[in-house]
Amino acid sequence: MKEILPTIMIAFLSCMGVFGQNMQTDSTKTLMLNEVTVTAYKTVNGVGHLPEEKNGIIYAGKKNEVILVDSLDANKAINNTRQILGRIPGLNIVETESSGFTANGIATRGLNPTQSIEMNTRQNGYNISADIYGYNESYYLPPMEAVSRIEMVRGAATLQFGSQFGGLVNYVIKDAPADKPFGFTTSQTIGSFGMFNSFNSVGGTYKKISYYGFLQYRNMDGYRPNSQQWQLSGFGKVQYKPSEKLNMGVEYSLLRNQIKMPGGLTDSLFYASPKTSTRARNWLKSPWNIITGYLNYNPTQNTILSLKTSFLFSSRSLVWRNEDGGPAAIDNIDPSTNAFEPREVSIKNMHNTTTELRVSHNYNLGDQKSTMAGGLRYSYAWYKKLSDGEGTTNSDFDLSIIGDWDNNLDYTTTNIAPFVENIFRIGNKFTITPGFRFEYLKSTSKGYKTKHDIKLAANQNRNRYIPLAGIGLEYRPTNNTSIYGNFTQAYRPIDYSQLTPFGVTSKIDPNMKDANGFNSDLGYRGTIKNYLNFDIGGFYMAYNDKIGVVLKTDPATGDEYSYRTNIANSVHKGIESYVEFNILKYIKQRSKYGLSIFDSFAYIDAKYTSGEFKGKRVEAAPQTINRVGLIFSSKHFSTTFQVNSVGDAYGDASNVRISKNPIAGYIPAYTVLDLSATYKYKNYLFKFGSNNLTDKSYFTRRADEYPGPGIIPSVGRSFYAGISATF
């Protein structure tokens, strides 16, 4: 058993592409690799873990997960997040993909999941959000049919990637086939609500040049009326590898879409019928473009140098019947004018350039090898916001306005951040990894805002100097298990959206401060033979000067209004656990079949510890998130049945259950069932399944503005079927 166990670990880490160079085997174990099939990863290890160091980045002592997307039975044609990322313990998902967002937002540990604003969101290691600090919302995600794996590092990612409380999520695109000059994959999927998805990719390697690219087109009529949408995603990569020590390349990602938004609902409208639509003239368009160049150089066996430079130029255009009157306001033709009310137009142009230089080096310290990894990030972002323009009375997508913009603002963010971490190895089982990061931020704004028909200058300049430190510990009692712990400081500056009123009746605190705090966790993870995979731990996060929205009452008029401010300090603590047990592998280790059950569970106690709402639960933070799945797999067929149970939450910090304000109110608990299956025959793959099998009516978000205002219903029961072929 002692010889077989590390062999299995080597096999599944090799198929993940994350096999660390620090792992050593003797000749006996190496010979036994031929007896282990890579399918053991799929049936046992739905969630894997990154090695201590990979590609010059340190992961030792950090809670992390890695998911092989191809190993999952899931509705990848629509990027069904709860099926693809649902095994991440405590992952909270805001499901708004049918109502105006191109991607579902995610968060962990009771943080705000809206558009993943608490996460450092990357593709192939570079940023894909509009601006990592000023406007860090995610409008673009790659199609999951093009993704090979997803890497997630919790709050400890602060030191290597940025100061975000939520940590890192990195979508790694598939590589070019290394064994042929040309390969072609096509995947066609149809589904409920008029869904059609076509994904096509090409790739190959010829001598020292490799290439990979894809095009995806998706069209949907939508779950609710007035929710038609289409999108085109594309990606291209060319890499030149003149030697084993050097490779360089360029990548380009694009997104084109147009989405009709059906609006938000009041509680009474939702419970009467979640398919109700309150708006028929709301549209969103968000073209996205990212160009990246990179160079990787290994001058010696112990040294890695990498350089990435990316340029993002994108926008988000919105024309809509705004939130005046809330979700209950009727968007009808005015009898006095025989026309609709004019819509509101908003255009956001986003550009940023980011360069990251990373260097890692292995060196001997006493009898042990230590690893130092550090680097420097430089980022400059500029953001143009034109909003509250009086649009037309039409119903189509029309961005023309009458008169001038009420708000015309220009923002910039400059960020310079050196960082360093070092793995100190004490013996063969224990590592200590201290680290440090220094963030310099310069934010500027200029332009004007209009209030009561008066244009007010909005010129500001602000500099910040933020030191961040952390330390990680990891002890390996066996080759396949480890005890890990981490403490890392975190920081979140005020972003652009928090400085702008989000509704006609909303207000902004002029004295808001940046948020700061720390993440800490302690856990035990590992594998037992090829039948058990586990990661069980606890966490404690302090989030100080948390910015949020509260409900206030105007003493003069008695009217309620939303107020964005530093609500208070909050503490998020709880338990995160993932356990997967393969029953058939336990009974017969070399069984050709797998029957696994997994449980991804989190208990999250997120409450305010000071201020007006002391003792209240943090908004949008369910106390329990539990996903249980049953997986059967064989050589040609696999299927996954998943039960998703998410606890209740509140829309704002006041924890009111009922309110006239669209963002405030109760978000009930819900349970949703998903079933997906895959059949493989030669180079063909057939896929089919159903999401929300019981047609559960539920929602995950109350929106203060678009895509609302009001309750945003999640999608009811749907079916899909498709075929893929690789040549």
490-524 confidence digits (pLDDT tens): 999 988 767 665 555 567 787 888 999 999 999 99
pTM of the entire predicted model: 0.91
Structure tokens at 515: 């948020």
More confident: 36 or 582: 582
**120 beta partners:** 168
Phi, psi of 76 (to 5 degrees): -75, -15
The yes-or-no verdict on residue 549 having pLDDT over 60 is: yes
* Residues 443 and 458 sit within 8 Å (Cβ to Cβ): no
Tokens 């033979």 identify what position? Answer: 529
Whole-number pLDDT of residue 501 = 56
pLDDT bin (cut points 50, 70, 90) of residue 46 is low
Tell me the mean pLDDT in the region 252-277. Answer: 94
* Residues 690 and 674 sit within 8 Å (Cβ to Cβ): yes
Give the closest residue to 168 by CA, choosing from 213, 136, 145, 143: 136
* Residues 601 and 625 sit within 8 Å (Cβ to Cβ): yes
d(CA 189, CA 187): 7
* Residues 648 and 666 sit within 8 Å (Cβ to Cβ): yes
Phi, psi of 176 (to 5 degrees): -70, 145
d(CA 407, CA 447): 8
**646 beta partners:** 625, 670
The yes-or-no verdict on residue 138 having pLDDT over 90 is: no
Whole-number pLDDT of residue 555 = 82
pLDDT bin (cut points 50, 70, 90) of residue 44 is very low
Amino acid at 616: K
Structure tokens at 564: 């964005």
Let me know how long the chain is: 727
Phi-psi region of 652 (alpha: psi -120 to 50; beta: other; left: phi over 0): beta
Tell me the mean pLDDT in the region 387-416. Answer: 93
Phi, psi of 368 (to 5 degrees): -115, 155
Tell me the mean pLDDT in the region 432-455. Answer: 90
* Residues 102 and 79 sit within 8 Å (Cβ to Cβ): no
**Torsion angle (degrees, nearest 10) of CA 41, 42, 48, 51:** 40
The yes-or-no verdict on residue 2 having pLDDT over 80 is: no
What is residue 176's DSSP assignment? P
Whole-number pLDDT of residue 505 = 55
The yes-or-no verdict on residue 4 having pLDDT over 50 is: no
Phi, psi of 279 (to 5 degrees): -135, 140
| Element at 270 (helix H, strand E) | helix 267-272
Residues of the chain with pLDDT > 90, as a percent, come to 73
Give the closest residue to 281 by CA, choosing from 126, 391, 150, 364: 391
The domain 37-726 is placed in CATH, from the list 2.60.40.10, 2.40.170.20, 3.40.109.10, 3.20.20.120, at 2.40.170.20
Whole-number pLDDT of residue 25 = 39
Tokens 């106690």 identify what position? Answer: 605
Give the closest residue to 644 by CA, choosing from 66, 90, 65: 90
Phi, psi of 262 (to 5 degrees): -80, -5
Structure tokens at 317: 């255009």
Whole-number pLDDT of residue 580 = 95
pLDDT bin (cut points 50, 70, 90) of residue 7 is very low
Tell me the mean pLDDT in the region 5-29. Answer: 38
d(CA 462, CA 413): 10
**257 beta partners:** 231
Give the closest residue to 87 by CA, choosing from 616, 621, 713, 577: 577
The yes-or-no verdict on residue 37 having pLDDT over 50 is: no
Tokens 């590592």 identify what position? Answer: 431
**In the predicted model, what is the mean pLDDT of the chain?**
89
Phi, psi of 25 (to 5 degrees): -135, 155
Whole-number pLDDT of residue 561 = 75
Count of helices and strands (H, E) across the chain: 7, 38
CA angle 602, 603, 607 (to 5 degrees): 130
The yes-or-no verdict on residue 466 having pLDDT over 80 is: yes
Give the closest residue to 538 by CA, choosing from 571, 490, 573: 573
Tokens 């499901």 identify what position? Answer: 95
**How confident is the model over 583-634, as pLDDT tens digits?**
999 998 888 899 999 999 999 999 999 988 999 999 999 999 999 999 999 9
Whole-number pLDDT of residue 26 = 42
d(CA 723, CA 37): 25
What is residue 658's DSSP assignment? S
Whole-number pLDDT of residue 134 = 85
pLDDT bin (cut points 50, 70, 90) of residue 332 is confident
Whole-number pLDDT of residue 682 = 93
Structure tokens at 40: 């053991």
d(CA 106, CA 84): 12
pLDDT bin (cut points 50, 70, 90) of residue 459 is confident
| Element at 578 (helix H, strand E) | strand 560-582
What residue spans define the domains of the chain?
1-36, 37-726
The yes-or-no verdict on residue 33 having pLDDT over 70 is: no
d(CA 290, CA 145): 19
Whole-number pLDDT of residue 503 = 52
**Torsion angle (degrees, nearest 10) of CA 425, 426, 428, 432:** -50
Within the chain, what is the greatest distance between any pair of CA atoms? 88
d(CA 120, CA 108): 12
Tell me the mean pLDDT in the region 230-239. Answer: 96
The yes-or-no verdict on residue 16 having pLDDT over 60 is: no
Residues of the chain with pLDDT > 70, as a percent, come to 92
CA angle 156, 136, 657 (to 5 degrees): 90
d(CA 205, CA 276): 51
pLDDT bin (cut points 50, 70, 90) of residue 558 is confident
